[in-house]
Amino acid sequence: MKPMIAALFVTVLGEWSALATAEDPVDLPALPLSPPVYSLTLGGRSACVTPSHRGQSRAEGGQIDMTSPNSNALAAVLSGSVAANAYLGCPGSASERFQLVQEFAITCSDKNVKTATMSLDSVLGGFVRSKHCAGAGMRLATARVCPVGSTQPVMVITHPMLAVEGNDGRLCNQHLPTLEVSGLPLGRYALTAEFVLEAEAFGIADAHAHADFSPSGSLPSDWVRTRDPFQGVDKKNFGFSLTLTVAADEATTISERRNRTSDVRQAAVVMPAQKASAPRQIPINEKGFGRLPKP
């Protein structure tokens, strides 16, 4: 019995030694890599609102707000309101023109990354209404992004014009599909936005018009007609809103995956090849083994 146990022990020990010295690599988990971080830094800005009115009219509430909701995003809201009345044959007209030029720089924490994906989201909220010989409209709501020093845009987004005349009204809540462009080089860009509102009224009767794209603007009480549409409408989201973000593009994502795979392979440990020694066979008649007690 003892010789059999000894032979089995030596055989198992030899097989374990052979496995421990095999040339098969041992894969160790690679340390997780942090993804590249993109930053959007605001630069110079030009923001102008130009009101104009004639006769019994109003152009107010003109405002341009710029914010950075995240380190890789910027947001702009252009809002205002115009209204016009015709009084005893005297016409009235009003307009507001907005122009925003915001420069920004795109950078990345990974110095090997050279490109990014830029996304532009646009929402337009407000209403236009008119009565009798009058008309109101949102004539222009557009935005474009160009490299600094160039007039060639890399992306352009434009809302359809919204206008009414006579006895009419339109409530607007336009959310255009997100515009996305990949493979843009890192560097300096400029966002340009333009927004135009107009209203006019003429004649002897109670002609009036109103284009309202302001969350806070309101008409004086003597300008409000109870039968006009959109009384008491929620104006919280009124205005021309733009949100621009930058992120990794597909090429950068594929490259990052390849780098992660390469790092995993480099982390594999290959033990030096050694020839496994064959287990030593112990003769059955060697001293101390193979002798059974005599009955």
Q: What is the C-alpha radius of gyration for the chain, rounded to an integer number of angstroms?
A: 38
The pLDDT of residue 292: 47
The pLDDT of residue 180: 96
**Ramachandran sector of residue 154 (left: φ over 0; alpha: ψ -120 to 50; beta: rest):** alpha
The pLDDT of residue 231: 87
**C-alpha dist (Å) from residue 157 to 70, 96, 160:** 22, 20, 10
Banded model confidence at residue 145, pLDDT cuts 50, 70, 90: very high
**C-alpha dist (Å) from residue 78 to 106, 194, 213, 234, 235:** 23, 9, 9, 18, 14
Burial class (CB in 10 A: 0-12, 13-18, 19+), 168: middle
The pLDDT of residue 232: 86
- The answer to whether residues 8 and 280 touch, using CB atoms and an 8 Å cutoff, is no
The pLDDT of residue 226: 79
The 3-state secondary structure of 67-79, one letter per residue: ECCCCCEEEEEEE
Of 270 and 64, the structure prediction assigns the larger pLDDT to 64
92-108/168-175 β-pairing: unpaired
Identify how many contiguous H helices and E strands the chain contains and give both numbers: 2, 13
Dihedral Cα 249, 255, 261, 267, nearest 10 deg: -120
Q: Position of tokens 């255009």?
A: 176
The pLDDT of residue 263: 47
Mean pLDDT of 31-53: 89
| Residue 50: count of CB within 10 angstroms of its CB | 12
pLDDT above 70 as % of the chain: 74
User: What is the pTM assigned to this prediction?
Assistant: 0.75
